Amino acid sequence: MKSIDTLLGRKFDRDSYHCIHFLIEAGKHLFDYDFSHCFLGLTGSLNAELSPSKAAMEQGTLVAKPSDGTIVLMMTLDNRHHVGLYYCGRVLHLSEIGSRFEVMRSMKRQYKKVRFYDVKDFS
């Protein structure tokens, strides 16, 4: 198990560093895997046209249960999409208040939809 300490303290910036950038960085750090191909064209500024979505996850396979390295796609109550990375039984993600490492129960209370996508076998 690799430490996530270097990922904590990251700051959200709508224009230059948001949840997608964070997931790509976390994937490289934790798994030596580049998730960039899953988010082609989605690393610019977040706005109405740029949002991680189910369509962006065509590279992955929808799974019922996450494992380490599974991408977690969430939908907020106001229908905005958000992504995180499943690791050690929790979701590592970057919100507007900073980097977070939260249990799944908490995520399911905060988001109206939570889906899991595997893009690579890390075992």
Q: What's the token pair of residue 51? A: 């949002």
The C-alpha torsion from 69 through 52 and 80 to 46, rounded to 10°, is 120
Q: Is residue 17 part of a domain?
A: yes
Give pLDDT, residue 54. 54
CATH number for the domain harbouring residue 48: 3.90.1720.10
Cα-based torsion angle of the residue sequence 16, 17, 19, 25 in order, rounded to the nearest 10 degrees: 130
pLDDT the model gives residue 79: 84
What does residue 47 show for φ and ψ, rounded to 5 degrees?
-155, -170
Closest C-alpha among 112, 73, 66, 107 to residue 89: 66
Q: Is residue 73 part of a domain?
A: yes
Q: Is 25 helix (H, G, I), strand (E, B) or coil?
A: helix
Tell whether the model's pLDDT for residue 123 goes beyond 50: no
pLDDT, average across residues 50-72: 77
Confidence category of residue 57, pLDDT binned at 50, 70, 90: low
pTM of the complete model: 0.86
What is d(CA 50, CA 55) in angstroms, rounded to the nearest whole number? 12
pLDDT in tens, 98-111: 999 999 999 989 99
Number of domains within the chain:
1
- Structural domain span for residue 42: 10-118
At residue 121, does pLDDT exceed 90? no
The per-residue pLDDT for range 39-53, each reduced to its tens digit, is: 766 665 566 444 555
Query: Is 79 inside a domain boundary?
Result: yes
